[in-house]
Homo-oligomer: A and B are copies of this chain.
Amino acid sequence: MGSTKTQHFTSDQNQVAAYAKALAHPARIAILQHLLKKQNCICGDLVGELPLAQATVSQHLKELKAVGLIKGTVEGTSVCYCIDPQKWEEVRDIFMNLFSTPVACQDNCC
C-alpha cells in the first residue's frame, strides 16, 4: 500500500492528476510564476529567489521538466529554464475542460 492504484483509473483521470501533482507545491508555483514573468528566461538565479537549497530547487525543476511544463537549455556553465508554451496551453486546456463542466447538482440538491 501507499502507492496510487493508477491502473484502475482512466488515462484522462491520471493525466489531470499528474499535472495537478506537478502544481501541488508552492515552490513549483513560485518557479512557474517566475518563469512566466521574466522576459529573459532566468536560469540558476531561481535558487537565489527561493527559500530552498540548490539541490531542492533542482529537484523541483526536474519534476516540472518531467511533466513537460518547462524545458532547460544549457548555456555555458548555467542552464536556462523556460516554460514550454505549447505544453502550458495544453495543460490549461485540460484544467479548463475539467472546470468547464457544469455542476449538475445545484444548491437545492442536498
Copies in the complex: 2
Which of A24, A28, A71, A88 has the most CB atoms of chain B within a 10 A radius of its CB?
A24
A69 CB, nearest partner CB in chain B, Å: 11
Is A77 an interface residue when CB atoms closer than 8 A count as contact?
no
Is A92 an interface residue when CB atoms closer than 8 A count as contact?
yes
Size of A's binding interface in residues, CB under 8 A: 56
Is A64 an interface residue when CB atoms closer than 8 A count as contact?
no
| With known contacts A26-B6, A109-B40, A103–B80 Cβ distance under 8 A | no
CB contact between A110 and one of B14, B17, B39, B82 (< 8 Å): that residue: B82
Contact B39 A105 (CB under 8 A): yes
